[in-house]
């Protein structure tokens, strides 16, 4: 990846984008559009169709017909695999184009985006393409004169609502298993990160995915997202995003067809450092990356740093030094380590959390302010707040920004109590040289994912999901297939 290639792609104009329905690009039914503001400089990048409920219903109807007529669901597994493998190949071929397009849209630093977005998406699609013909049904042991078969069938139409922080990666977590199982999908991207998903869907058609099997509708969640949630023709709804939106989707399910709803709702993940950690320098570097990469806009971000009191001052000083050395700025500049905050409202929300933290007794160790650049845009200094009480707002509410709250603890029991003292339970980490302590902490911390002597990083072989108000169901791994299949029992008298 060369800076000159990035700059060439950055200079390309982006034409106004439309919905993708039944294999064709179509405008909103009323012709309305939404401006896309680039967080890099705060200027209008392009526009997308501002969808209506009518548009969403048209996309769902297309997906329903596309499922019912079997154009995809009835293809042999080998045929579906061939298309998905070709799709993954095309994503890799266009990786830099997709990454730069996404960065211009959502502000993730390009060094991270190239791997986390098209790189991850291609790997995920390929993983499920390889898996789809290796997942079998069952023959159940029953009485001698009966044959009992348990088969797995596609659910039908899947509605997927994708967040703005990693649209390709998280989109692939939904699309890969849903399409591999033979379903049709209607995709609703975030308002501030639609462009790369539209392009990836276009590549799916190029790979041979039949028209109507994957439709994309852009627009406001309150309009097209609501229409998807209330549809009687969506069988499963999958969502990654905020808790309030997740609750609304559950309400929509209850008001419509009781569609299954799977939610990944973020977290307030504890990153726990014991005094017996083997390498504090490594722990500090990894902890800083675990909260500040992508400007803290990561669902599993280690936003609560719990440090044993014996090493508190020493360890916090190490993390502060690393944070102060991070280069924040233009996310398409390879020299920068942290890119832009996704939008002005998100930046203002981040700064509001800092003000609240100070009012509640927190002390700013570094950062806490907006970074102003000559080009404009939305940037924030990596921020560390110490003296954060376990019940403080900064310890309880998800910021989704580059803001780290630090809390001290005396012993293992107190660390567990503080770690579990939130409504969330997505991720966490423990730094210790004690094998027994590591196993005790793994069992005691109530999360869907726990790291030991590291933070972040896992591949498609393991599930990602949370407990508590971090949601339900799992993305990634073979377990994700369960969301997109129905079990059917055949009871056959011999």
User: Does residue 395 surpass a pLDDT of 90?
Assistant: yes
pLDDT at position 375, please? 86
User: Does residue 127 surpass a pLDDT of 90?
Assistant: yes
- Positions annotated as catalytic residues are 264
Q: Name the token pair of 331.
A: 């996310």
144 pLDDT band (50/70/90 cuts)? confident
Tell me: domain 270-458, CATH 3.40.309.10, correct? yes
What percent of the chain stands above pLDDT 90?
97
Per residue in 74-89, pLDDT tens? 999 999 999 999 999 9
Per residue in 459-478, pLDDT tens? 999 999 999 999 999 999 99
Q: What residues contact residue 276 under an 8 Å CB cut-off, 6+ apart?
A: 432, 433, 434, 437
Question: CA of 357: how far to CAs of 84, 151, 350, 354, 385, in Å?
Answer: 47, 53, 11, 5, 8
pLDDT averaged over the chain? 97
pLDDT at position 351, please? 98
pLDDT at position 177, please? 98
Q: What is the CATH number of domain 3-265+471-493?
A: 3.40.605.10
User: Does residue 456 surpass a pLDDT of 90?
Assistant: no
Return the domain boundaries, the chain.
Answer: 3-265+471-493, 270-458
Number of H helices, E strands in the chain: 16, 21
pLDDT at position 374, please? 87
pLDDT at position 458, please? 78
pLDDT at position 109, please? 97
Q: Which residues pair with 37 in a beta bridge?
A: 44
Mean pLDDT, residues 241-245: 95
Mean pLDDT, residues 267-278: 97
DSSP designation for 405 = E
């Amino acid at each position: 990846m060369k800076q000159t290639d990035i700059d060439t792609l950055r200079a390309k104009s982006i034409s106004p984008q439309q919905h993708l329905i039944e294999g064709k690009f179509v405008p909103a039914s009323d012709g309305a559009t939404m401006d896309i503001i680039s967080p890099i400089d705060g200027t209008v990048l392009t526009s997308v169709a501002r969808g209506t409920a009518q548009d969403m219903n048209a996309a769902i109807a297309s997906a329903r017909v596309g499922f019912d007529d079997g154009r995809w669901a009835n293809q042999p597994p080998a045929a579906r695999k061939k298309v998905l493998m070709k799709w993954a190949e095309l994503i890799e071929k266009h990786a830099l184009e997709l990454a730069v397009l996404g960065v211009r849209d959502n502000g993730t630093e390009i060094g991270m985006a190239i791997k986390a977005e098209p790189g991850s998406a291609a790997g995920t699609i390929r993983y499920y393409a390889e898996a789809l013909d290796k997942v079998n049904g069952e023959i159940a042991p029953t009485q001698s004169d009966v044959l009992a078969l348990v088969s797995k069938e596609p659910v039908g139409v899947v509605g997927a609502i994708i967040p703005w922080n990693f649209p390709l990666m998280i989109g692939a977590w939904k699309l890969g298993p849903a399409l591999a199982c033979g379903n049709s999908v209607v995709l609703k991207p975030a308002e501030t990160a639609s462009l790369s998903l539209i392009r990836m869907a276009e590549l799916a058609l190029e790979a041979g995915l039949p028209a109507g099997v994957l439709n994309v509708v852009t627009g406001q969640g309150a309009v097209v997202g609501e229409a998807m949630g209330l549809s009687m023709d969506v069988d499963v709804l999958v969502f990654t995003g905020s808790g309030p939106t997740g609750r609304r989707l559950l309400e929509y399910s209850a008001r419509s067809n009781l569609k299954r709803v799977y939610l990944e709702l973020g977290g307030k993940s504890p990153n726990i450092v014991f005094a017996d950690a083997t390498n504090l320098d490594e722990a500090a570097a990894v902890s800083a990356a675990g909260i500040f990469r992508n400007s803290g806009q990561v669902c599993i971000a280690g936003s609560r740093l719990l440090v044993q009191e014996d090493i508190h001052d020493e360890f916090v000083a190490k993390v502060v030094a690393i944070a102060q050395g991070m280069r924040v700025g233009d996310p398409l500049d390879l020299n920068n380590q942290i890119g832009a905050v996704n939008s002005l409202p998100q930046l203002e929300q981040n700064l509001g959390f800092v003000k609240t933290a100070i009012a509640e007794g927190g002390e700013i160790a570094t950062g806490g302010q907006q970074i102003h650049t000559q080009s404009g845009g939305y940037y924030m200094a990596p921020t560390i707040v110490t003296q954060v009480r376990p019940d403080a707002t900064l310890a309880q509410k998800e910021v989704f920004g580059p803001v780290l709250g630090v809390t001290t603890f005396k012993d293992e029991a107190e660390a567990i109590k503080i770690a579990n003292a939130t409504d969330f339970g997505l991720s966490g980490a423990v730094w210790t040289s004690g094998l027994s302590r590591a196993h005790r902490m793994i069992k005691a911390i109530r999360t869907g994912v726990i790291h030991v002597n590291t933070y972040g990083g896992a591949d498609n072989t393991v599930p990602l999901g949370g407990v508590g108000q971090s949601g339900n169901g799992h993305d990634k791994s073979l377990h994700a297939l369960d969301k997109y299949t129905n079990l059917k029992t055949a009871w056959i008298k011999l």
